[in-house]
Amino acid sequence: MLALGAAAPACAVDLGIDLHGFASQGYLVTTGNNYLGPTLQDGSFEFNEVGLNVVATPVDRLRVGAQVVSIDAGDFGNNQVLVDWAYGDYQLDQRLGFKLGRFKIPLGLANDTRDLDLTRTQVFLPQAVYPVPLRDFYIAVNGVGVYGTARMGGLGTLDYTAYIGGQNITAQSATARYFTSLGAGDTFSFIHVSSIEGGALTWNTPADGLRLRASLYHAYRLDVLGHTLGAATPVAGVFSDNDIHAQLHDFWSGILSAEYQWQDLTLAGEYLRNYSRNDVVVTSHPFINAPAAGGPPGSTVRVDLPVATTSTISYLRNEGMYLSAGYRFLERFEANLGREIYFDDTQSRGASFFRSWDLSLRWDILDHWLAKAEWQHVDGTAFASRQDNPQGLKDSMDVLSLKTTFDF
């Protein structure tokens, strides 16, 4: 037994194995609107994350690893255990490396580290650029990627990366709730993306602590088949079961980012634009509830009316931006102040939007244990979902979030 116990660490050392993990638990309470589930009044503890990853270096310049996660953010995730990433990475030299498998997408400053709570002060990443409902859509690609760094003499260095592959979002993924908010259905039988590709350029400038990034994400042919039952129609007494086929031919997402770090101060800002053309075909099965002949008083029978099909073309034009300033004012304490603005449609900015002020505090209790508190004041309704607020949406809301995280 002693011999076996001694052999295991030796094997781990030979393979260069690193094992890491994290676990967090949070609490959300809101005023005005529910957010990510029932958070009004008593709040919600449906806010946790658990992750475990292992990375091995079996030979020089080759890394192989995988991570599983379980996330619950109110209506999203529900603690399903998922393979977050699993890939092989071979680096020829500083200028060129390859990834193959499922790996995080480099989009903006924080998409590829969005689940690592210890990397930031905030509880939530800025929702104007990193919306929680679309985490599954943006988080990873199943395919191949290349990356490298070019030295530019006195101009600093340029990091570059590009990728192409597929997506594995399904009708059961958290992204389905986002399509519900767009009116694409209450339930879904099919969600599929034909392919995704993109890349990022990061300029590590000669100014110490300043980096600039431009990143692009493209999803080709996103198909969604949704369904609604008993939906009201403009005609009184007439209801309809609808089959909705929405197709986003080319979904583009671009982010411009800047970050500056000086001693204990961190300044950051990002600007997002999304664009797609959407073809929507709705097959309606209208019906009325007619009195049942010979039945008990008040009983009805469904009478189907002729099926109708309508086609529409629309365009998605989202815009989001934020500025933030963070400062470590004591050895184990940080604060961050942020301002976010988001518009659902750049050609109708007053229709659906949100503007928020965010104040975050972080306390590193021990080296591998931290606690956070965050307050957000939000004006506008794009931040909340109508499914979580059947009573109707209020024009403003406040969100208090508390969270603690352990890592090893």
Of 6, 47, 8, 44, whose CA–CA distance to 25 is shortest?
Answer: 47
Residue 353 tokens, joined: 């939007």
pLDDT for position 290: 85
Of 262, 147, 254, whose CA–CA distance to 210 is shortest?
Answer: 262
Of 235, 275, 276, whose CA–CA distance to 255 is shortest?
Answer: 275
Per-residue pLDDT of the chain in tens (408 residues, 90 and over written 9): 333 333 344 444 567 899 999 999 999 999 999 998 899 989 999 999 999 999 999 999 999 999 999 988 887 778 889 899 999 999 999 999 999 999 999 999 999 998 888 899 999 999 999 998 888 899 999 999 999 999 999 999 999 999 999 988 877 777 777 777 677 788 888 888 999 999 999 999 999 999 999 999 999 998 889 898 888 888 888 899 999 998 888 999 999 999 999 999 999 999 999 999 989 999 999 998 888 877 787 788 888 899 999 999 988 899 999 999 999 999 999 999 999 999 988 888 877 899 999 999 999 999 999 999 999 999 998 888 888 888 899 999 999 999 999 999
Residue 8, H or E segment: helix 2-15
DSSP string for residues in 97-147 = EEEEEEEE---TTTGGGTT-GGG-S-SS--TTTS-GGGHHHHSEEEEEEEE
pLDDT for position 133: 84
Dist CA 30 CA 353 (whole Å): 18
The whole-model pTM stands at 0.88
Q: Where are the beta strands (DSSP E) in 292-352?
A: 300-304, 308-330, 333-343
Whole-angstrom Cα Rg for the chain: 24
Q: Where are the domains of the chain?
A: 15-407
CATH dotted code for 15-407:
2.40.160.10
Q: How many CB atoms lie within 10 A of CB 366?
A: 8
The backbone torsions φ and ψ at residue 397, rounded to the nearest 5 degrees and listed phi first, read: -155, 160
Q: Where are the beta strands (DSSP E) in 42-114?
A: 47-59, 62-73, 76-93, 96-104
Q: How many Cα neighbours within 13 Å face the side chain of 42?
A: 4
pLDDT for position 74: 80
Long-range contacts made by residues 196-199, C-beta under 8 angstroms, separation at least 24? 196/141, 196/143, 196/164, 196/165, 196/166, 196/167, 196/220, 197/162, 197/163, 197/164, 197/165, 198/105, 198/107, 198/162, 198/163, 199/106, 199/160, 199/161, 199/162, 199/163
Q: How far is CA 382 from the centre of its chain?
A: 15
The backbone torsions φ and ψ at residue 113, rounded to the nearest 5 degrees and listed phi first, read: -125, 20
Largest Cα–Cα distance in the chain?
Answer: 90
Dist CA 370 CA 362 (whole Å): 7
pLDDT for position 14: 62
Contact call for residues 188 and 225 (beta carbons, < 8 A): yes
Give the three-state DSSP class for 2.
helix
Of 78, 75, 84, whose CA–CA distance to 111 is shortest?
Answer: 84
